[in-house]
Structure 1
Amino acid sequence: MKKIIGILIAGVLILTGIQIYSNQKQVITFGMFTVSNWDVPNGNCYEIYENAIERFENKYPDVQVELISGISKEDYVEWILGKSLTKEVPDVFMVPSESFLMFAQSGLLLNLDSYINQLDTAKFYSSSLEAGQLKEEQYALPFESVPTLMYVNKTLLEKENIALPDNDWTWDEFYSICKQVTKDIDGDGLLDQFGVYGYDWLLASHSNGCELIDEQGNLAIYTDQMEDSIKFMQKLYALNQNIEVSSQDFDEGKVAFCPMKFSEYRAYKPYPWRVKKYSNFEWDALMLPSGHDGDHSSSINTLSMGISKNSKNKDMAWEFLKELTYDVECQKEIFTLSQGVSVLKEVTSSQETLDLLSKDNPGDSSFQLKMLDSVMKEGTPQVMFTQYNDIIQQLDAEIYRIIINRHEDISIELKTIQDKIQAK
């Protein structure tokens, strides 16, 4: 009986000691949503963060990172705002691109300028780093980015005796090729081969130097560059003679070009290589064609991470923020556990990364994965804002009405649309 009592007492003392030790640990919280930021399937949404936490806690044994999860992306912003009312915002938390301005302007995010000099910021792609800046002050660090590339049906171009464009191509070259390949192949009087699927006014406007939002935060579509972009889209759309190009046309190899976010390529691999398997055509990728007043750079969408302004553990939160965004091991896992591109130049441009991505390509593909580094270097941050998706949907409906109906008074139409949306 004495032995049993002794064992019980020892057990209680051990548990008490563990509890005391645990209570001595510094706890920082990390808030995330449960799906991919890029709206594509991701079965490993937790693994990359759990690995980062494990490495971090090994570096700092006296620190415990509490992962707060289970929040959907749709509910995430409301959840963060709710936490801000009680000053319980996680020490470190995800900052989606469309929410950055609201989070920064409302005082939720800690200004990182007093910490940023600890880093060599030249290691980040500038397009990614700038996604976390407001008035040249840093409020968040980039975690992963996604550019858009133009995929090219090489087999179709070869059949039409058209040379593959280079990365410095323009709207004029793009339109010329689309015009040449758009035709009735089977002779039934209806077009059944097309130039492009999925290219929209937003991509066109970005490559023509358009900014949807001005420096004051107002909608700014009433510009010469936007008018020029819509005129180009009208020409491109007219080639199809009111026939809507479908995803099936694309899948069957009847389309020369298709823009695709890198995240979609990664998530749905072997798509578009799935297409190649069934339709026996080869693909390559290019940067987007440049407009008359723009360039061929891609709009870079970035998921950032920030620190709560009310965090009681700011210094240790900063260390964990670095683990996510600046640590090479964590950033390498972007390419294996997520669908984006690492925000660190040395990771994305490394031979290890190129070899990894090459495994996804068919053996006879000449897809230039090295282009990713160039795309990221030459890209520009995608300016997003609160209610971005809602406003884009409104613009889609209004602008496609202009494109499809071939309105000539585009400038007047744009002014009307801008005033209408801005007034809401």
Structure 2
Amino acid sequence: MKQKVIAVAAAFLLIVSILLYMTYQKNKPITLTFGMFAGSNWDVPNGESYKIIDEVVERFERKHPNVKVEYVSGLQKSDYSEWLSQQALKGNLPDVFMIRSNDLSTFSDIGIMQNLNSYIHKDDAFDKAAYFTPSYQSGTYQKKQYALPYESVPTLMYVNRTLLEKEGISLPSDNWTWADFYDICRRVTKDTNEDGALDQFGVYGYGWQNAVASNGATVFNAEGTKATLSDERVYEAIEFTRRLEELNQGMTPTSEMFDKGQVVFCPMRFSEYRTYKPYPWRVKKYSSFEWECIPMPAGPQGDNVSELDTLLMGMAKTSQHKDLAWEFLKMLSYDETTQEDIFAYSQGVSVLKDITNSKTVSRYLQEDTPGESAFKLDFFNKTMEHAIPVNKFSDYDQAMSVADSEIRRLLSTDEDIKTMVNTLQSKLDILLQN
């Protein structure tokens, strides 16, 4: 009998010990680390770069009282990639961290990022269809989802409406074409003070890359292993850009000319639009004319689209708290409160369709719209859904620099476009294969 009592007591103590251990494990303090840089990813002023993150951290810690989220403050974007690489070498990567678009392939290749496919597939509360497709695809590398999108920025065409009205020209429609674009530029490019030099121009800042994107072509393949310039659509884009530049008769329009109202069109990232429209920025820039934003003009084989740049969030492969890291990742990327705050405190666009379509966000955008203009969400949503994600592989900057230098030189000559571009194609393929 005594042995039986002892056995029961021992079993009871074992159960209590197990329960206490489980309770401790569940509630023991955990530190989750987050890697971020200060300021804006889009190189525009942002005095509230920590506000969204701090609010996410506060909500996450309320949901998980035993978790403390920590991050290093004051790290600049220019130093961030090197800092993250050093943390990887030290074996001290943050559990979750920001990823710039040109770092995704590099960090994926060296194996420091967690493939998120298994988390996505087993999480019934997660639906990738909630995202704008190009934003979501920005986190994909070699058919694996290594990151979730946090904030995106498309390029739109900004139009000096005041100058168009002065010239008696109607604002282009949302489905305008290269032909419409060229015709307006031709009509407005002139010497208004009759001193023998052009002082009014059609466009500033429109490059051959803009034309390639809107003609349904690309510069490199998705893997970054070869150039894709030997394409009729690319030849057309370069020829069109050359014709546009010839309208300027050897002169080069400047950003200052656009600011002063001497240029009709200027491609601009949406982040710059949001930065410079609200007071007091509008007093400093673009204050002498009313302006609108519209989609980019479509090439004969393309659409009214442009490239989309996206700031991503990923998880360290070495994280010891991957389930918590996945939850935190979702609160940054997939949570509606966080994504609505993108419009309130940042200069980009939410990556969630329902947020960008919401009445609240429509109000934010309308507040940023100049003068009596109306921000039209109908074309904006189409622009986001059909944009071309920027896939910046490890050698992207070097290869693009070579391509841009050669093609810019070509634009100022009468060389045969097809011959020169095919030669450039071979040069880039050799560069990318080394």
Normalising by structure 2, report the TM-score.
Answer: 0.87
Equivalent runs, 1:146-157 vs 2, <5 Å: 146-157=153-164
Query: Quick one: distance in 1 between partners of 2:144 and 2:282?
Result: 40
Find 1:347's aligned residue among 333, 343, 355.
355
Q: Once the 2 structures are TM-superposed, how far is the Cα of residue 369 of structure 1 from its aligned partner?
A: 4.6
- 1:75 aligned to 2:83? no
Q: Once the 2 structures are TM-superposed, how far is the Cα of residue 284 of structure 1 from its aligned partner?
A: 1.2
Q: Once the 2 structures are TM-superposed, how far is the Cα of residue 397 of structure 1 from its aligned partner?
A: 2.1
Cross-structure match for 2:10: none
- 1:418 aligned to 2:425? yes
Cross-structure match for 1:114: 118
Q: Once the 2 structures are TM-superposed, how far is the Cα of residue 262 of structure 1 from its aligned partner?
A: 0.5
Equivalent runs, 1:38-53 vs 2, <5 Å: 38-53=42-57
Cross-structure match for 2:17: none
CA deviation map 1:325-354 (0-9, x unaligned): 011111111112211100011111111111
Find 2:171's aligned residue among 149, 153, 164.
164
2:412 counterpart SS class: helix
Cross-structure match for 1:199: 206
Q: Once the 2 structures are TM-superposed, how far is the Cα of residue 414 of structure 1 from its aligned partner?
A: 1.9
Find 2:194's aligned residue among 177, 183, 187.
187
For the structure 1 residues 416 and 358, does the alpha-carbon distance in structure 2 shift closer, same or farther, using more than 3 Å as the test? same
Cross-structure match for 2:133: 126
Q: Once the 2 structures are TM-superposed, how far is the Cα of residue 323 of structure 1 from its aligned partner?
A: 0.7
- 1:56 aligned to 2:60? yes
1:341 counterpart SS class: coil
- 1:35 aligned to 2:39? yes
Query: Quick one: distance in 2 between partners of 1:248 and 1:327?
Result: 40
CA deviation map 1:358-409 (0-9, x unaligned): 22223422342553322212212122122433433333222111001232x2
Query: Quick one: distance in 1 between partners of 2:105 and 2:334?
Result: 22
Cross-structure match for 2:308: 300
Q: Once the 2 structures are TM-superposed, how far is the Cα of residue 422 of structure 1 from its aligned partner?
A: 4.3
For the structure 1 residues 227 and 362, does the alpha-carbon distance in structure 2 shift closer, same or farther, using more than 3 Å as the test? closer
CA deviation map 1:171-230 (0-9, x unaligned): 111111111111121222221111111111111111112222225522332332222111
Structure 2: where are the runs of 5+ without partners? 1-23
- 1:334 aligned to 2:338? no
Query: Quick one: distance in 2 between partners of 1:159 and 1:134?
Result: 48
Q: Once the 2 structures are TM-superposed, how far is the Cα of residue 421 of structure 1 from its aligned partner?
A: 4.2
Q: Once the 2 structures are TM-superposed, how far is the Cα of residue 307 of structure 1 from its aligned partner?
A: 0.5
Cross-structure match for 1:9: none
Query: Quick one: distance in 1 between partners of 2:422 and 2:259?
Result: 38
1:198 counterpart SS class: coil
Find 2:103's aligned residue among 91, 99, 102.
99
Q: Once the 2 structures are TM-superposed, how far is the Cα of residue 110 of structure 1 from its aligned partner?
A: 0.9
Q: Once the 2 structures are TM-superposed, how far is the Cα of residue 319 of structure 1 from its aligned partner?
A: 0.5
Asked if the contact 1:123–1:345 (Cα under 8 Å) also holds between the matched residues in 2, the reply is: yes
Cross-structure match for 1:8: none
- 1:208 aligned to 2:197? no
Query: Quick one: distance in 1 between partners of 2:135 and 2:222?
Result: 19
2:113 counterpart SS class: coil
Q: Once the 2 structures are TM-superposed, how far is the Cα of residue 66 of structure 1 from its aligned partner?
A: 1.2
Cross-structure match for 2:6: none
Query: Quick one: distance in 2 between partners of 1:363 and 1:156?
Result: 15
Asked if the contact 2:142–2:223 (Cα under 8 Å) also holds between the matched residues in 1, the reply is: no
Note the aligned Cα RMSD (angstroms): 2.1
Q: Give the stretch that moved more between structures: 168-177 or 41-50.
A: 41-50
Query: Quick one: distance in 2 between partners of 1:124 and 1:285?
Result: 23
Q: Give the stretch that moved more between structures: 327-336 or 360-369.
A: 360-369
Equivalent runs, 1:224-239 vs 2, <5 Å: 224-239=232-247
- 1:251 aligned to 2:259? yes
Query: Quick one: distance in 1 between partners of 2:232 and 2:251?
Result: 28
Q: Once the 2 structures are TM-superposed, how far is the Cα of residue 273 of structure 1 from its aligned partner?
A: 7.2
1:257 counterpart SS class: strand
For the structure 1 residues 252 and 369, does the alpha-carbon distance in structure 2 shift closer, same or farther, using more than 3 Å as the test? farther
Equivalent runs, 1:271-310 vs 2, <5 Å: 275-277=285-287, 279=288, 281-310=289-318
Cross-structure match for 1:379: 387
Number of residue pairs the alignment of both structures matches: 402
1:94 counterpart SS class: strand
Q: Give the stretch that moved more between structures: 361-370 or 99-108.
A: 361-370
Find 1:358's aligned residue among 353, 358, 366.
366
Partner AA of 2:216 in structure 1: G
Q: Give the stretch that moved more between structures: 72-81 or 341-350.
A: 72-81
For the structure 1 residues 100 and 174, does the alpha-carbon distance in structure 2 shift closer, same or farther, using more than 3 Å as the test? same
Query: Quick one: distance in 2 between partners of 1:389 and 1:35?
Result: 22
Structure 1: where are the runs of 5+ without partners? 1-19
CA deviation map 1:114-158 (0-9, x unaligned): 111320211111110011112332111000000011011122222
Asked if the contact 1:184–1:191 (Cα under 8 Å) also holds between the matched residues in 2, the reply is: yes
Asked if the contact 2:186–2:202 (Cα under 8 Å) also holds between the matched residues in 1, the reply is: yes
